[in-house]
Structure 1
Amino acid sequence: MHEYTPAVEETVRKLAQLCVERLAAEPPLSGTAAWEQLESVAGKTITAAGLGGPEAVRLWAEVLAPACIAVDHPRYLSFIPGAPTKLAAAFDMLVSASSVYGGSWLEGAGAAFAENQALRWIADLAGLPETAGGTFVQGGTLGNLSALVAARESARRHRSGLPRRWAVCVTEETHSSVAYALRVVMDVDVVLVPGDERGRMTGTALRDAVDRLPPERRAGVFAVVATAGSTNLGIVDDIAGIGAVARDNGWWLHVDGAYGGAGLAAPAVRHLYDGIEQADSFIVDPHKWLFGPFDSCALLYRDPSLARTAHTQHAGYLEAVTADGEWNPSDYAVHLTRRARGLPLWFSLAAHGADAYREAVERSLATARAGAELIRRADHLDLLVEPDLTVLTFERIGWRPDDYTRWSSHLLDTQQAFVTPTRHRGRICTRLALVNPSTTLDDLRLVLDLMR
């Protein structure tokens, strides 16, 4: 099974050819399928004797792959799309084929060095100090969890007394993964801070919300989560004001930039992130707006030693890799075994240069601004939130929920676009999320005209 036989080589070459063809072609939008439909076509795929490489390749290429929606299609505008560069995707193939282990310096010094170069570029964009550092984790959920675990451990070590219950301040627009991590994983209370008319957390609202808490609950607050580009609305919180309140109270400031943090690369919107240099931790997902493949989240700490104290695992067999002075990516998050998932971003950055990334982010921003103007001028549409970044949230005047559902299904069935409904302040509406530099104003115009 592990030998490189002629039969294995044949299959490997078929797979390599599929990869080359996929990277060379325009992304197919494709679609989805019901379980029963796939079961009837694919049949039983795991058998005692095996299907053989060529048949397994055929099954994937002809049956299963077409039942997957391509997130890098220029009119994939739902959720938060992805748009990996061709070189990032190609290097991801090499990372897998090379069996690179990314958990420790001992086993993957070259990988850790390269990943840290990419992390340094992100830290510089945010204005974090030279001592900042971290690791790449699976996604924003794990990044947020790991940062808040480090925050609580730091509070435990530095406070003279421990509260009855710990608590973290968030808003309704804070990503769902944060509340999930706090309540389900960490058993920590959530303090909900009212957002302003655009859903932003401000320093004033944060201070007022905490001042209204009973003294015992106020004593349990150890961190606040600011959002640098909310997933549903693309709004950036008042990071500077939030940071000032956090400093005054000795709280940890975590900035969730899973989607929007990439905007730091664009001078046109850099002012929106003022105050991010105060962050104790910060995340951004390269598989979103930094043009890397799934799955990758860059997690940075102002003081990595605090994270290392919280996350380093100790066992007899790990003594060889937990030596002082070595940078082990596994020491900075809730993980141990890890893929070197930051390498595709590093390779793409090294090959294309930071200027190309800045230009690509700026291009998405320009398209989003032009798209917002299309919505403002359309007599059948109403722009619900003035965009900070590249998420356009709007409604079709006069539509009911089932109208959005039918329209969304029609777009995908006819292979024109993938757009899904959402809610804003209890109202059914829709949104267009742009991170793909290949998405044009004509793409947006096509989608909007189909709502007439």
Structure 2
Amino acid sequence: MEPQEFERWSEKAALWGARYRASLRDRPVRAQTQPGEIYRAMPVRPPETGEEMQAIFDDFEAIIQPGMTHWQHPRFFAYFPANAAPVSVVAEHLVTAMAAQCMLWQTSPAATELETRMMEWLRDALGLPESFSGVIQDSASSATLAAVLVMRERALNWQGNRQGLAGQGRLRIYCSDQVHTSIDRAIWVSGIGEENLVRIPAESPIGSMPAEALDAAIRADLAAGHVPAGVIACIGATGTGASDDLSAVLAVAKRHDLYSHVDAAWAGAAMICPEFRDLWQGIEDADSIVFNPHKWLGAQFDCSAHLLRDPDLLVRTLAIQPEYLKTHGQDGIINYSEWSVPLGRRFRALKLWFLLRFHGLEGLRRMIRNHVRWSQALADRLARTPGFEITTPPVLSLFSFRQTGADDAQTIALLNAINDDGRIYLTQTRAAGRVVIRFQAGQFDCTEEDIDIAYRAITDTAQRMSKP
């Protein structure tokens, strides 16, 4: 592609993106295509000769775009949004154009040094002690895997990478039964094994694992000759918002000299608001913390903040330095590839820099406070509506509900009908063994009117389904 053509199509793509974002409220949130429809629209074989950009772009609009669920839609209330504030998208244009591989300081000094400063900005914004430093991982799953690998190596006196797990004692990791499935995957990939993930039942669907039960489980494993390695706590579990009592749980971890990791993937962003920090009181005692700026802060995916009390433990676990990766003649530099499982690294810090400068912390706080207030108001409104019940109360901007007396099949039928309606997008979870509908407000451009539309979409659909 010639430079002039590259410029023309870059401008066209940017203009398309701006118009797309402006039109989202007029589109159904979830893709309306049927399974296999996009696949069948593709030729069976790749082209032997190149095609014109206009033909490719036309097919993008005609085939690909209709099959996309609109994650930036203001009424995306499912999962938790992978937000991309417009200013973050602009920064990503620049990152993509430069296309740097930022694995080492010398491969792009600005990328490394900006990442260091951005992690300090985030640390301070969350009210964490200056003793914490951090790295930007691709996702919370990678940060959790890195933490579990540190747990493994530390418990095995740093011999796991060298000797493997054969012949070692059974390593044990402890967590609430409400944690995200990324913890399961970290246990699988690390070689520790699902049977060695000890799940402590939470006190309620939004509650903590009891510290006494955690302590008892660790003591029982020690008595059985097992090797306790670490504790994973959660703040704002994905399903219902369950949150551990960090002061109590981390005290148990410290008592047994276990490495601790806190998964605050979506809820951690709310900690930029001082009034919400009671949710993670005691966080300063954690060894490792993860939260995703690409969820509630508006940084385009992928951008996961991994904060560490002692990064040397992570580097000792992951660093490999063949000759071709050494930086000669420079002392005191950071190579963030030694803090991550992948060697290759994108320039993720740039979108954080643009985002934080453009909106400021107060602008981001205002958004989060609105989402919390609006979501709690919707929960109150549904609770007052005949035929509905709130099954788990709001935790920040997340709650769950169902129709009174509905069984699991009826709840799923209502959920599907709401999503087929197109005005909003919701997902399900389980609370106290029952299927319930999960609602969360966290989309960057969501307004109070969008929350009102959500109420109408839920109640209109339920009323329509009740008619014979």
Do both share a fold (TM > 0.5)? yes
- TM-score for both structures, normalised by structure 2: 0.89
Q: Quote the Cα distance in structure 1 between the aligned partners of 2:270 and 2:147.
A: 21
Report the AA paired with residue 11 of structure 2.
Answer: R
Which moved further from structure 2: 169-178 or 387-396? Answer: 387-396
Q: Is residue 127–residue 277 contact of structure 1 (8 Å, CA) maintained in 2? A: no
Which moved further from structure 2: 184-193 or 328-337? Answer: 184-193
Q: 1:290 — aligned with what?
A: 297
Q: Is residue 384–residue 393 contact of structure 1 (8 Å, CA) maintained in 2? A: yes
Which moved further from structure 2: 36-45 or 354-363? Answer: 36-45
Choose the corresponding residue for 2:453, options 414, 430, 443: 443
Q: 1:430 — aligned with what?
A: 437
Q: 2:466 — aligned with what?
A: none
Task: Give the % identical residues.
Answer: 26
Report the AA paired with residue 391 of structure 1.
Answer: L
Q: 1:382 — aligned with what?
A: 389
Unaligned regions of 5+ residues in structure 1, if any?
A: none
Mapping 1:193-342, distance limit 5 Å: 193-197=200-204, 198-213=206-221, 215-217=223-225, 219-320=226-327, 324-342=331-349
Q: 2:139 — aligned with what?
A: 139
Q: 1:93 — aligned with what?
A: 93
Q: Quote the Cα distance in structure 1 between the aligned partners of 2:316 and 2:330.
A: 13
Q: Quote the Cα distance in structure 1 between the aligned partners of 2:437 and 2:98.
A: 42
Report the 3-state secondary structure (helix = DSSP H, G, I; strand = E; otherwise coil) of the residue aligned with 2:153. helix
Q: Quote the Cα distance in structure 2 between the aligned partners of 1:156 and 1:113.
A: 33
Report the 3-state secondary structure (helix = DSSP H, G, I; strand = E; otherwise coil) of the residue aligned with 1:432. strand
- TM-score for both structures, normalised by structure 1: 0.92
Q: Is residue 174–residue 227 contact of structure 1 (8 Å, CA) maintained in 2? A: yes
Report the AA paired with residue 335 of structure 2.
Answer: N
Report the 3-state secondary structure (helix = DSSP H, G, I; strand = E; otherwise coil) of the residue aligned with 1:387. strand
Which moved further from structure 2: 403-412 or 273-282? Answer: 403-412
Q: CA RMSD in A?
A: 2.4
Report the 3-state secondary structure (helix = DSSP H, G, I; strand = E; otherwise coil) of the residue aligned with 1:255. strand
Any idea what the Cα deviations from partners look like across 1:57-83, whole Å, max 9, x if unmatched? 111122201211111212211111233
| Structure 1 position 340, deviation (Å) | 1.6
Q: 2:162 — aligned with what?
A: none
Report the AA paired with residue 174 of structure 2.
Answer: C
Distance change >3 Å, CA 322–CA 356, structure 1 → 2: farther
Report the 3-state secondary structure (helix = DSSP H, G, I; strand = E; otherwise coil) of the residue aligned with 2:332. coil
Q: Quote the Cα distance in structure 2 between the aligned partners of 1:231 and 1:321.
A: 44
Q: Is residue 140–residue 291 contact of structure 2 (8 Å, CA) maintained in 1? A: yes
Distance change >3 Å, CA 25–CA 32, structure 1 → 2: closer
Distance change >3 Å, CA 74–CA 430, structure 1 → 2: same
Q: Is residue 423–residue 454 contact of structure 2 (8 Å, CA) maintained in 1? A: no
Report the 3-state secondary structure (helix = DSSP H, G, I; strand = E; otherwise coil) of the residue aligned with 1:374. helix
| Structure 1 position 35, deviation (Å) | 4.7
| Structure 1 position 280, deviation (Å) | 0.4
Count of aligned pairs: 447
Report the 3-state secondary structure (helix = DSSP H, G, I; strand = E; otherwise coil) of the residue aligned with 2:376. helix
| Structure 1 position 424, deviation (Å) | 2.0
Q: Is residue 235–residue 389 contact of structure 1 (8 Å, CA) maintained in 2? A: no
Distance change >3 Å, CA 250–CA 321, structure 1 → 2: farther
Q: 2:415 — aligned with what?
A: 408
Any idea what the Cα deviations from partners look like across 1:311-362, whole Å, max 9, x if unmatched? 1122121123796511111111211101122321221002221111111111
Any idea what the Cα deviations from partners look like across 1:255-288, whole Å, max 9, x if unmatched? 0011111121122321111011111000011111
Report the 3-state secondary structure (helix = DSSP H, G, I; strand = E; otherwise coil) of the residue aligned with 2:401. strand
Q: Is residue 81–residue 433 contact of structure 1 (8 Å, CA) maintained in 2? A: no
Q: 2:17 — aligned with what?
A: 19
Q: 1:68 — aligned with what?
A: 68
Distance change >3 Å, CA 106–CA 214, structure 1 → 2: closer
Q: Quote the Cα distance in structure 2 between the aligned partners of 1:45 and 1:269.
A: 54
Q: Quote the Cα distance in structure 1 between the aligned partners of 2:81 and 2:94.
A: 23
Q: Quote the Cα distance in structure 2 between the aligned partners of 1:347 and 1:412.
A: 34
Q: Quote the Cα distance in structure 2 between the aligned partners of 1:82 and 1:95.
A: 18
Which moved further from structure 2: 111-120 or 43-52? Answer: 43-52
Report the AA paired with residue 339 of structure 1.
Answer: R
Distance change >3 Å, CA 414–CA 51, structure 1 → 2: farther
| Structure 1 position 230, deviation (Å) | 0.3
Distance change >3 Å, CA 246–CA 378, structure 1 → 2: same
Which moved further from structure 2: 102-111 or 11-20? Answer: 11-20
Any idea what the Cα deviations from partners look like across 1:378-413, whole Å, max 9, x if unmatched? 221111122222211122123333433333333333
Which moved further from structure 2: 333-342 or 31-40? Answer: 31-40
Q: 2:113 — aligned with what?
A: 113
Unaligned regions of 5+ residues in structure 2, if any?
A: 160-166, 464-468
Any idea what the Cα deviations from partners look like across 1:133-164, whole Å, max 9, x if unmatched? 221111111110012212322333389xx961
